[in-house]
């Protein structure tokens, strides 16, 4: 048998060596201290090609600091970062040519039109003008951004964010690092951008993003990293997080032609519990007494519930470490 990341078995002439893919980003033991304040502490992280990793945490948890370290804009106090197989400390400019970074707030040259603004950045990327015009047209179309010759200073917040995303994508980077791409946007525009990120993943991009909207994170991310006071307390797939930290709740809805000591919901009775044994007991009762089963539902904790519980409980946070550090 050939194992991922291992040499082929010696008894086969034709065995092929299959190596584990090199992660697009690998951070080992990174920390960032500002004088005696620890913004990020001893963080290990790996992100695979084509993956979307969401980083969540309270205000000041260290999300922006991590994203800036991963782009090379902030130098870690300790630890190492490899991006696309290269050490960021030594190959910063090569890495930047394959990386698109969207900061939390993007400065604009307010007296330029959107196209002039994007042409300006394409020149910084040394893109030929014809190619840049084509790319800008494609991006504005995909992002549904029709600025009609408006200056960037005249754009709405949503239009500005889309223009900034277009700038991040101009040079067709392999890796995208996005700091709150949809902050401050209305629900529709916000969801449009989240859906657009899913399309970019389908095109093979690797995406690391931070966001406060946990529904969006749950919707698009392959894995979620939860930060608390600069420490990574959980990093795993949503399924694994739900299984380990989510409270699976069961709900039975049934009808009975007799008064019962169960919660009523219209004509029905409802029973909820996280205990499978209890649920089985009530189900048996429904069956034995000939009551009509209307519905049996399993409700899983949404990320928001899990996140709030982790933030509010030291005990849960400590046990959550066991969920799994990184890949
Ligand atoms: P938010 O959700 O509010 O954007 P965040 O999780 O992105 O927060 P960071 O911006 O990474 O948090 O900041 C983490 C901590 O590091 C904060 O306490 C912040 O004040 C501190 N910090 C960040 N940059 C600096 C700096 N240049 N000098 C001193 N402290 C800093």
Which CATH architecture best describes the domain 248-300?
A: 2-Layer Sandwich (3.30)
Q: For ligand 1, is residue 31 a contact (CB within 6 Å)? A: no
**Residue 313, pLDDT above cutoff 60:** yes
Q: How far apart are CA 10 and CA 2, in angstroms?
A: 10
Residue bearing the CA closest to ligand 1, atom 5 = 60
Residue 35's DSSP bridge partners are none
20: pLDDT strictly greater than 80: no
Question: Alpha-carbon distance 86 to 72, whole Å?
Answer: 12
CA distance 290 to 284: 10
Residue 11 pLDDT greater than 60, yes or no: no
What DSSP element (H or E) covers 56?
strand 52-57
DSSP lists the bridge partners of residue 223 as: 53, 237
Q: What is the pLDDT of residue 188?
A: 84
Q: How far apart are CA 70 and CA 215, in angstroms?
A: 24
Q: How many CB atoms within 10 Å of residue 309?
A: 16
Pocket residue to mutate for ligand 1, from 55, 57, 65, most atoms within 8 A of Cβ: 65
Question: Contact 255/268 with Cβ under 8 angstroms?
Answer: yes
CATH topology of domain 20-98+174-247+302-327: Rossmann fold (3.40.50)
User: If you take atom 4 of ligand 1, which residue's CA is the nearest one?
Assistant: 59
Q: What is the pLDDT of residue 317?
A: 47
Mean pLDDT of 81-108: 92
**HEC string of 276-302?**
HHHHHHHHHHHHHCCCEEEEEEEECCC
Q: Looking at ligand 1, which atom is closest to the CA of residue 104? A: 4
- Domain regions of the chain by residue span: 20-98+174-247+302-327, 110-172, 248-300
Check pLDDT > 90 for residue 76: yes
pTM: 0.82
Distance 63 CA to ligand 1 centre (A): 8
Closest CA to ligand 1's atom 25: 34
Question: For 44-57, what is each residue's pLDDT tens digit?
Answer: 999 999 999 999 99
Structural contact between residues 127 and 167, judged by C-beta atoms closer than 8 angstroms: no
Closest CA to 81 of 162, 122, 24: 24
């Amino acid at each position: 048998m050939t194992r991922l990341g291992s040499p082929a078995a010696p008894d086969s002439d034709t065995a092929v060596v299959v190596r584990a893919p090199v992660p697009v980003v690998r951070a080992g033991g990174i920390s960032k201290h500002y004088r005696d304040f620890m913004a990020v502490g001893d963080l290990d992280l790996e992100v695979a090609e084509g993956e979307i990793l969401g980083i969540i945490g309270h205000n000041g948890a260290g999300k922006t600091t991590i994203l800036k370290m991963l782009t090379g804009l902030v130098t870690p106090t300790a630890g190492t970062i490899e991006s696309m197989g290269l050490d960021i400390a030594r190959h910063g400019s090569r890495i930047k040519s394959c990386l698109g970074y969207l900061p939390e707030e993007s400065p604009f040259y307010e007296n330029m039109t959107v196209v002039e603004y994007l042409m300006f950045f394409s020149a910084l990327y040394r893109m030929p003008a014809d190619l840049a015009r084509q790319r800008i047209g494609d991006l504005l179309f995909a992002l549904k951004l029709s600025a009609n010759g408006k200056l960037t200073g005249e754009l709405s917040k949503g239009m500005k964010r889309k223009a900034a995303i277009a700038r991040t994508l101009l040079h067709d980077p392999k890796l995208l690092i996005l700091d709150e791409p949809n902050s401050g946007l209305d629900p529709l525009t916000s969801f449009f951008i989240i859906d657009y990120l899913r399309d970019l993943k389908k095109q093979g991009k690797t995406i690391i993003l931070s966001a406060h909207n946990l529904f969006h994170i749950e919707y698009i991310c392959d894995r979620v990293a939860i930060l608390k006071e600069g420490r990574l307390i959980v990093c795993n797939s949503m399924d694994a997080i739900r299984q380990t930290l989510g409270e699976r709740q069961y709900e039975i809805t049934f009808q009975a032609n007799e008064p019962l000591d169960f919660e009523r919901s219209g004509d029905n009775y409802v029973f909820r519990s996280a205990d499978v044994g209890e649920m089985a007991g009530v189900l048996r009762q429904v069956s034995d007494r000939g009551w009509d089963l209307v519905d049996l539902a399993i409700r899983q904790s949404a990320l928001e519930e899990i996140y709030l519980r982790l933030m509010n409980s030291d005990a849960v946070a400590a046990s959550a470490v066991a969920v799994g550090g990184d890949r």
